[in-house]
Structure 1
C-alpha cells in the first residue's frame, strides 16, 4: 500500500507538490498514514523472526491497540487537522446545496435500504454463522475482518448513502461464500434434472432477491405523476438531457471556440466531459467559489452586481433547464426580481439574447448568450 501510494502521489501531484499537505485529496498525509501502517507491521514481523512476538489474543490485541494509538498520535503531531471534517470550512450555503444531493443523504426507508444494501440481509446472518463455525480455526480473523468492516460501513451508509459502495465491497465476499455453500448443498440434496432449475432459482434469489424487493418498493412508493414524463431525448430519459444539449454545443457555431457556461452545478461535470467548453461550477466542495458565484448571479436581483459577476467570471453562455429540480438552488431568494426568474419569463437585459434551440431541445432547455460590452 505504501509503495502504491508513493507512486500514485508522484503521478497525481508531481515532484513539485509531492509534500503538499491536503486532507481531501491524495497527499503526503495519506502517504504518512500508509508509512505508519507499514512500520507497525515491519516491527511485528521483526519481533516474530526473533521469537519475541506477543503471545495470546489479549497480548496481541493490546499490541495492536497500542500501535494504532501511537500511529494516530504521530499523525496528529505531523498533521493537526487530520481528524477535522474537510467540509468544516466550506460555506454553509454550499452545504445546503449538498443536502439536496441523494448520495449525501441518509437512507430514507426500508425499500431504499434493500435497494442499496439489501445483500446485508443475507450477508450478516451468514457471516455470523461462518464466524461461529471457524472461531477456533485459521479463518477466524479473515471473517472477523469482513464482518467488522461491513458493520462499520453499514452504519456509515445509513447516514450517507455514498458509503454504501464501501459496505458492499465487504458484503460481496460473504454473499459469494453463501452462494458457494448453497450450490454445494443443492448438489448434495437434488439430482438432475431437478437440480438445475432449483440451483438457478436459488442463485438468482441470493444474488438479486433483496435488491429486487427494494426496487419494487421504491417504485411502488413513488407518487403518481400529474403528467407523463417527456420521452427520452437521444436515449437520455432525464428531464434535463445534458447529453443531447452537449451535442448542440459541440456543433457550429458554438464549437468554433471555447466558451464559459453558467449552468447548474449538477450539469458541470458532464458538460466538461462531453464538450470543449468551460463551466463555472461542478458538484465539488473545492469549487465552492464557482457554486456561490452561480447562486449570486442567477439568485441575485441587483442587475449591476449580476452583470459585474458575469464579467468577472467571463461567462459567455447561460444554460437553464425548463424541468427537473437541478436548478432549484438558484431560487433560494424567492423574490420575483431574481435573475433566474427574469430569464424564465423572458425579461432579458439588453446585454443578453436567447439562443434559438432546435425543436427537440427547445422544450427542455433555455440558452442565453452574453453579448459583448458596447
Structure 2
C-alpha cells in the first residue's frame, strides 16, 4: 500500500495528540506514587538540570559545564548540553516578565512542563513520519502508540526536566525524513533533513546514535542490494553531511575554541564529527561504485566501511563503549551495576514477564506484526529501503532495551512509526473475508496488545522499580524532599559570606534536591562521571574503623553527615559507621543535630 501523498498533519490530529498527552499526565498525577502533588520533581536529574539552568540565568558562563552542586568539593563535570537548558530558560524568562515570578520559581515551573510539551511534539512528529510510510489513518495510530509506550511516557511526564523527550523528538523527525529520502524518487532535501535531525539528536545526547546508526547501516545495505545503488548512496551521503553539519554547529556552540578538539564519548565532540565524516566518505565511495555489479559493489563498499571502522577505533579506542567510555572506574564497577535502568530485562535478569511488558509495552509487538505484513508490498513497490530502515531501527532498539531497560525509550519511535500501519494492513488483507471480521481482528490486536502492560501486575513495574526505595524511606520518616526543605529553612552550619557547607548523604538520590532547595553542596549523585564520590560515600558509611571514615570526610571537606536509620539505602556491615549511626552510638567527633519529628527516620550530624 502506498502512503498518501500529503505530508501535512491536520488540526484534529494535533488536538488528539494534545488530549492524549494531557490524559497521560493527569493519570500520572493521580497515581499512588505521584510526586508533583507533593511539590517534588520526578528524579535527581531534574533538580540538577534546573540548578544548572538557574546558574546560567544568574550569570554563569555559557561554557561552564562544571556544577558545584554535587561531587563536592571539586564539582562534577556534566555531560549535558545546552539545547534543553535553553528550552527551559526561554519560557522561564517569559514567566518572569509576564507573571512577575522570581527566577527560581519561573525555572521550576518551566521545568515541570518542558517534557510533556516535547513529548507532544514527538508524538506529532511520529505521526508525520508514519504518514510517509502508511496510508489512511496511520498517523492517528502513531500518536496513540507513542503515548502508549510505557518507558517513553514514564520519562516524559510532568516533573521530569530531562532531555529524553527532546531525544524522542529528534529521532522521530530523523526517521520521518529518512523514510521520505529512501522512498522511490526521494528528495535530496529529505536526506539532508534526516542527517540534520540525527545530528541535532547527537547534540542532545549521543545515545541517539543507537537508533540512528541502523538507519545509516541499512541505507548502505540498500546501496548494495539495489539494481542501481547510486541514488541511494547519494542520499546516504547527504545524511552523513547533515550529521556532520549539525555536529560542527554543536561543537562551536557548546565548547570554547580551545575545546573544539576535546574528545568526549558521552557529549557531542570531535569524536562524533569524525564519525559523521567517515560515514560520508563511505557513501562517497558507494556513490562511485553504485552502478557496478553487486559482487564487486559489495567488496568495495565493504572494504571502505571496514577501513572507516578501523580508523574510528584507531583514533577513538572507546568509541564502541559510547557513554560508558566516559564513566570512571568506580561508576562502572560499583554504581552503574546497581542502577535499575541499566539492568537487562527478563529473561536475561531477575524478574517476571510483567516487568518486561511494563517496560516495553505492546507497541513493539504491533510494530513487528506490521513490518512482517508489509514486507512483501514494500518489495513490490520499491519502498523496501525505507521499510528496511524502519525495521532495522525497531530491531536494534528492541535488542538494546533487553540489554538495558533505559533504551526502551529509544524503542518508542520506531515502534510507533512501524506499528501505525498494522490496522490498515489488516483491514486491507484478503483474509478473513468480510470487512467486519477484519475490523474486529484489527481492533482486537491493537487494543489487546496495548493492554499488555496491565499484565505488569504479575511483576514490578518500571516506576515501582525506580521509586520503591524512596517510597519506603518516605513512609519511614526519611522523606528527602521534607529534609531538603527543612535544611533550606533551618540552615544548620551555614555561615553568611562563606562557601556553602558540604553535606554527605547515604542516599545518593537526594543530593541534587538538597542542593536545589538548600544552600549546601553535596558529595554524590547517580552520575557516571561521579563514581569517585560515590565510592567515597560507601567507604565512609561502610568503614569499620571510625578514623578511616573520618579521613574520607576530611578529604571531602564534609560538614554535615546525613543517614536514614529507618530504611538504610546502603549495606550496613556490623561495626561500620552506618551501624553506629543507626544504633545511636555515633563517634564523639559527630555532633547530633536535632531534627523535627517528621524527619525522625533521619540522623543528621555535624562533623567536628
Specify the TM-score bucket, using the shorter chain as the normaliser: 0.7 to 0.9
Among 446, 457, 462, which residue is 1:216 paired with?
457
Distance 1:10 1:136 in 2: 45
Distance 1:254 1:150 in 2: 52
| Residue aligning to 1:162 | 406
| Paired residues of 1:127 and 1:174 also in contact (CA < 8 A) | yes
Query: Displacement of 1:33 after TM fit?
Result: 0.6
| Residue aligning to 1:172 | 416
| Residue aligning to 1:54 | 291
Q: What is the aligned residue count?
A: 343
Per the alignment, in what secondary structure is the counterpart of residue 257 of structure 2? coil
TM-score (norm 2): 0.50
Compared CA separation, residues 205 and 157, structure 1 to 2 (3 A): same
Among 596, 600, 606, which residue is 1:358 paired with?
596
| Paired residues of 2:342 and 2:406 also in contact (CA < 8 A) | yes
Query: Displacement of 1:12 after TM fit?
Result: 2.9
1:246 matches 2:484: yes
Among 93, 118, 130, which residue is 2:374 paired with?
130
| Paired residues of 1:18 and 1:28 also in contact (CA < 8 A) | yes
Query: Displacement of 1:58 after TM fit?
Result: 5.5
Q: Which has the higher contact order (CA 8 A, sep 6+)?
A: 2
| Paired residues of 1:121 and 1:210 also in contact (CA < 8 A) | no
Distance 1:298 1:29 in 2: 39
| Residue aligning to 1:226 | none
Compared CA separation, residues 321 and 94, structure 1 to 2 (3 A): farther
Compared CA separation, residues 10 and 265, structure 1 to 2 (3 A): farther
Query: Displacement of 1:14 after TM fit?
Result: 2.2
Gaps of 5+ in 1: 221-228
Distance 1:199 1:149 in 2: 24
Compared CA separation, residues 238 and 62, structure 1 to 2 (3 A): farther
TM-score (norm 1): 0.77
* Residues 26-175 of structure 1 mapped to structure 2, 5 A cutoff: 26-42=268-284, 44=286, 47=288, 53-55=290-292, 61-83=298-320, 86=324, 90-91=328-329, 95-108=333-346, 109-118=352-361, 119-175=363-419
Distance 1:69 1:10 in 2: 30
Per the alignment, in what secondary structure is the counterpart of residue 357 of structure 1? coil
Per the alignment, in what secondary structure is the counterpart of residue 510 of structure 2? helix
- For residues 326-351 of structure 1, the C-alpha deviation after alignment (integer angstroms, 9 at most, x for no partner) is x224x3xx2x3201111111112222
Compared CA separation, residues 273 and 154, structure 1 to 2 (3 A): farther
- For residues 12-49 of structure 1, the C-alpha deviation after alignment (integer angstroms, 9 at most, x for no partner) is 3322222112334332112211222233345555x4xx
| Residue aligning to 1:280 | 523
1:12 matches 2:254: yes
Give the superposed CA RMSD: 3.6
Gaps of 5+ in 2: 1-242, 347-351, 462-468
Query: Displacement of 1:202 after TM fit?
Result: 7.1
Distance 2:381 2:317 in 1: 41
Distance 1:252 1:88 in 2: 38
Distance 1:354 1:318 in 2: 9
Distance 2:283 2:526 in 1: 39
Distance 1:68 1:241 in 2: 54
Query: Displacement of 1:283 after TM fit?
Result: 1.8
- For residues 57-104 of structure 1, the C-alpha deviation after alignment (integer angstroms, 9 at most, x for no partner) is 666555543332121122123223434574698446862443222112
Per the alignment, in what secondary structure is the counterpart of residue 286 of structure 1? coil
| Residue aligning to 2:151 | none
Distance 2:409 2:471 in 1: 31
Among 571, 581, 584, which residue is 1:343 paired with?
581
Compared CA separation, residues 65 and 137, structure 1 to 2 (3 A): farther
Per the alignment, in what secondary structure is the counterpart of residue 459 of structure 2? helix
| Residue aligning to 1:297 | 540
Per the alignment, in what secondary structure is the counterpart of residue 135 of structure 1? helix
Distance 2:275 2:266 in 1: 14
Structure holding more helix per residue:
2
Per the alignment, in what secondary structure is the counterpart of residue 561 of structure 2? strand
Per the alignment, in what secondary structure is the counterpart of residue 342 of structure 1? helix
Query: Displacement of 1:310 after TM fit?
Result: 1.1
Query: Displacement of 1:107 after TM fit?
Result: 1.0
